[in-house]
Structure formats: structure tokens, C-alpha cells
Structure 1
Amino acid sequence: MVRDSASSEDSPSLQEILDALDDADCRAILRETTEPMTANELIDVCDIPKSTLYRKLDLLSRASLVREQDTINPRGGRITRYERHFDDVLISMDEADTFTVTVERPPRKADERLADIWSKMGDEL
């Protein structure tokens, strides 16, 4: 299963970002997730097998480029949707010739922060 998405304070490594962005399937997922989508929706629009999709979502999650949003299904259970979780990725080189990565994130709304808190509480029960 996909690892919990990182908070905006987490800093993925340069290599995690490069690995995710170097993958054609990951790039296809990122193009489609401007709005939250379920795994089944992503399988259909990206034409990726289910097992591959979850591996790619894990890669994107480790790089903090997508985040999971769980909602309650009125018919029971939870629905997980995946959404792109960055506005911009900047890779630069400093004066010491060291590469750095900066991931700019969209501002979080109060309801999103509250939903994350509730989701984490539910996981601990």
C-alpha cells in the first residue's frame, strides 16, 4: 500500500524526486491528479495495471509529490483519492556545487488540515 503522504514540512531527497520524475508512468499520474482521483480512475485514464499503479503511487508518495485523501464512503468503508501535492519543483546548484531541491506546495485550507488530523486519529484506533 502507499505510504502516508508527507507533510509540507517533510523534505524529500533529491534522488527521490529525480526517480519519480524520471518515470513515464509517474509523470502520467502527476498530469492526471490536478484534482483528486481514485486508484481505479487513475488505472483507466493512465492505462496502467493496478499493481504497477500502486508501485508508482508509492514512489510518488516517498517523493512527497502526491498525497492521499481518505473520505468516508456512504455505503461503508473509505474511499482513497490521490492528488498532486506540489505547485513547483525547483532543482538548483548552490555555491558549493551541491544540488538542492525545493518543492513548493499549495497553501493548505483549514478543512484539509482538519481532515488530516481526523484521518490520523482513525488510523490509530
Structure 2
Amino acid sequence: MLREQSPKDEADLQSVLDALDDPPSRAMIRALSEPMTASELSDACDVPLSTTYRKLDSLTDAGLLVESTELRTDGHHTTRYGVAFDSVTIALAEDRSFDVTLELKAGAPEDRLASMWAEVRRQT
């Protein structure tokens, strides 16, 4: 059973740019063809585990990754990370400011329902 965290609705330009400007963070995004744990990502990208956790926090805060918790009956829950977007668009707005838009992945119905419940819990 997975408990999904919904990604941010609006992306912060600077946090997205900072995350994408970082080579290890880009490597992690490329490696996430399917959700992985921090340890799996650390091994796949040859990045120390402590650095991996910092990069995952940065990518999640920027709305580029989504975190899910796999609930296990033995009580040892596992956090997995997946790519939250299909595309990132940076555009020049009419007032000459930059705007960033994340086109979020369309999840399966059960994923969308889990995201909606997570949002309801967060707001109550």
C-alpha cells in the first residue's frame, strides 16, 4: 500500500532552476524511470547517501519529485521517490518576469485519489 504526497501546484522559479542546475540532481531525475528509495538512487547515481537525501529534499521542495510511503505490515515503511512532472516550461511573461510551469504527470485513478486525500488531510 502506498501513501502518496501530492506535488506542489505552483512551482517556485528559483527552486526549480537551482535543482535543475545541479548535475547530481539531474542524474537522479534521469535515473527515476520508476520510483526508487534513497539508497537505490544513491547507488544508481554514485552519490553519497547523505548528499542524496539533501538533493531529494531540494527536488521534492521544488515540486519536481513526489514522495510516496510504502506501508508494510512488518512496520518497516519505505519512502520512494518518483518524477512528478512530464515537462518543465520556463517562459517570459508579459511583465518581462520569468514564469515556470510544471506539467504534472497524470497518475492512475488510485494515485489521484490518494493525492486528493493527502491534500484534504493537509488542509484539515
Q: TM-score, normalised by structure 1?
A: 0.83
Residue 35 (structure 1) aligns with? 34
- Spell out the pairing of 1:4-23 with structure 2 (5 A cutoff): 6-8=6-8, 10-23=9-22
Q: Percent identity?
A: 43
- Spell out the pairing of 1:46-85 with structure 2 (5 A cutoff): 46-85=45-84
Distance 1:115 1:88 in 2: 22
In structure 1, runs of 5+ residues without a counterpart are none
In structure 2, runs of 5+ residues without a counterpart are none
CA contact (8 A) 2:37 2:79 kept: yes
Name which of structure 1's ranges 94-103 and 81-90 shifts more when overlaid on structure 2: 94-103
CA RMSD of aligned residues (A): 2.4
**What is the letter of the counterpart of residue 35 of structure 2?**
P
**What is the letter of the counterpart of residue 91 of structure 1?**
I
Residue 107 (structure 1) aligns with? 106
Q: Name which structure has the greater RCO, CA cutoff 8 Å, separation 6+.
A: 2
Q: CA deviation at 1:74?
A: 4.2
CA contact (8 A) 1:6 1:61 kept: no
Whether 1:94 aligns to 2:120 is: no
Q: CA deviation at 1:76?
A: 2.7
- Residues 84-121 of structure 1: CA distance to partner in whole angstroms, max 9, x if unpaired? 11000000102221111110011132211344437x86
